[in-house]
Homo-oligomer: A and B are copies of this chain.
Amino acid sequence: MQIVPPALDRLIRALSRLPGIGNKTAARLAMNILRRPRAEARELSSALSELHDAIQLCSCCFTFSEDEPCVICADSRRDGALICVVEQPGDLLAIEKTGSFHGHYHILHGVLSPMDGIGPGEIKIEELVARVRSGVVREVLIATSSTVPGEATASYLIDLLHDKGIILTRLACGIPMGMDIKYADRHTLARAIETRTNAD
C-alpha cells in the first residue's frame, strides 16, 4: 500500500536529487510546498522550466548568462586585460559582491581532480590559454579555492602560464577580517606570518 500519494512521492524524489537534500528534508519541503498557495509552486515550476532555455555559458568567460557575451565581458568600463580565474559562477558572484575587482573573469567549471577523472581537458583550461595567447591579457589573478584540489589547479595553471609574458597573481591568504587570532587555525596563522605585509 502506497501511503505517500504518487504525485507527492514524485516531488520528494525529484527534490532529493538536489545536493545536500536528503529524503527527510525533501519530504518536509514537499509537504510545505503543498500547504502553501498553489501560485508559489507554479512560480517555482515555471522558473525551473525556463531555466535551461534562458541561460547559456558566455562564450568568452563561460559564466552563466542570458546575453552573449555576458554583461561583464560586454562592459567597456571594465579592464579586459585583467582576468580573474575562478572555479564556478558562484565564485564570480562572491567576488563581484566585494566591489573590489574591475577586470574580466574566466570560469573553469571545476578543479583538477584526477581521482574523479577530471583532468585539464574536462575544465576550461585550454580556453584560458587561448585567451592569454590572444595578446590582450596583462594579468591573470588565480582565485581558485584554498583547498587541496583548488591549490593543485592553481599550481597547474602557474606552470602552464608562467612563460607567457603576463603577470600571474593569487588571492592573499591570511587571517579573515574580524577574526580573533586565537581562533585562527595554525596553517592560516603560519601563512599569515610568512606573508606578513609592511605596516606603514
Contact = CB atoms under 8 A, between A and B. Distances in A.
A44 B7 contact: no
A68 to B, nearest CB: 11
Interface residues of A, number: 57
State the oligomeric state as a number of copies.
Answer: 2
Nearest to A90: B31
A128 B42 CA distance: 32
B55 A49 contact: no
Given A3-B71, A44-B14, A55-B8, A27 B66 contact: no
B75 A1 contact: yes
Interface stretch (A32-40, A131-139, A156-164, A183-191): A32-40
A126 interface: no
A30 to B, nearest CB: 8
A52 B41 contact: yes
A51 B64 contact: no
Contact of A48 (B32, B33, B52): B33
Contacts of A168: none
A45 interface: yes
A18 B50 CA distance: 19
Contact of A45 (B7, B46, B89): B46
Interface of A: 1-8, 10-11, 14-15, 17-21, 25, 27-35, 38, 40-52, 54-55, 64-67, 71-72, 75, 88-90, 92-93, 96, 109
